[in-house]
Chain A
Amino acid sequence: MFTIVLLILYIGSLIVALKLLLKYYKRSEKVEAKLCITPPNTSPTAQFSSVWKIVKQALISSSTLISLISLILIIMLSAFATAYHLARVDQGLSDYKGDCVILEFSNSISLTYVLNYLSEINITLKEYKRVLKIVFDEPLHPLIDSKKMNIYAAVLVDREVIANIMPSNDTILLGDVKLNKSKITINDVTLYVKGIKPIIMEEIKLYEVLSLLPIQGYVAANPVYVPPENTIVLDYNTGCKMLKLLEQPVTALIIPGVTLSETSIKELFHEIPSLSKLYVIKGGNITCFYNAIMPSWESLALAVLSSILASIMFIPTVSVIANRLKSIEFRALLFGLPPNTIALSTASMLALMFCTTGLIIIYLLSYIIGSYVIFNTIITLILALLFTSVYTIRTLASIGSKESPLPQGVSFIVGRNISDLLPSIEYLIKTNEFFEVIEYDVVWRRNEVYIYVSARYLITWGIGVNLHITLIPNNNNTKVSIAYKPWSIEEISDRYLNSMVRLFVGRLIGGLTPWRT
Chain B
Amino acid sequence: MAYLEYLISGFKIYIRGKGFLVALASGTILSVYTIALKNPYVNYIILALTFTSITSAVLIDNLMIKNVLKGLEIAGAPPSFIRRILLCYSLLLALTLSAPLVVTIAPKFKCIIPLLTFLLAYILVILLYRRTGRKG
A-side residues, CB < 8 A to B, are 63, 66-67, 69-70, 73-74, 76-77, 80-81, 298, 302, 305, 308-309, 312-313, 315-317, 319-320, 323
Contact = CB atoms under 8 A, between A and B. Distances in A.
B59 A66 contact: yes
Contact of A80 (B22, B42, B62): B42
B49 A74 contact: yes
Contacts of B18: 315
B52 A77 contact: no
Nearest to B59: A316
Contacts of A69: 48, 52
Contacts of B32: 302, 305
Contacts of B33: 77, 81, 302, 305
Contact of B59 (A63, A298, A308, A309): A63
B48 A312 contact: no
A81 B52 contact: no
Given A77-B33, A305-B29, 9 more contacts: A70-B52, A73-B52, A77-B49, A80-B41, A302-B37, A308-B25, A313-B53, A315-B56, A316-B57
Contacts of B80: none
B26 A312 contact: yes
B62 A76 contact: no
A316 B56 contact: yes
Interface string B1-42: 000000000000000001000100110011011001101011
Interface residues of B, number: 26
A80 B37 contact: yes
Given A66-B52, A302-B36, A76 B45 contact: yes
B63 interface: yes
Contacts of A320: 59, 62
Contacts of A319: 59-60, 62-63
A357 to B, nearest CB: 14
A313 B48 CA distance: 13
Q: Is the interface of B mostly helix, strand, loop or mixed?
A: helix
B104 interface: no
B22 A316 contact: yes
Contacts of A309: 25-26, 29-30, 49
Interface in B80-98: none
Nearest to A320: B59
B53 to A, nearest CB: 7
Given A302-B33, A302-B36, A77 B60 contact: no
B102 interface: no
In the A-B complex, the 6 residue pairs with the closest CB atoms = A316-B59, A316-B60, A70-B52, A316-B56, A309-B29, A73-B49
A73 B51 CA distance: 11
Nearest to B39: A80
Contacts of B45: 73, 76-77, 80
B107 to A, nearest CB: 20
B116 interface: no
B48 A73 contact: yes
Contacts of B36: 81, 298, 302
Contacts of B46: 77
B128 to A, nearest CB: 12
Contacts of A81: 33, 36-37
A313 B41 contact: no
A313 B29 contact: no
Given A312-B25, A315-B60, A70 B37 contact: no
A70 B56 contact: yes
A315 B56 CA distance: 8
Nearest to B53: A313
A320 B57 CA distance: 12
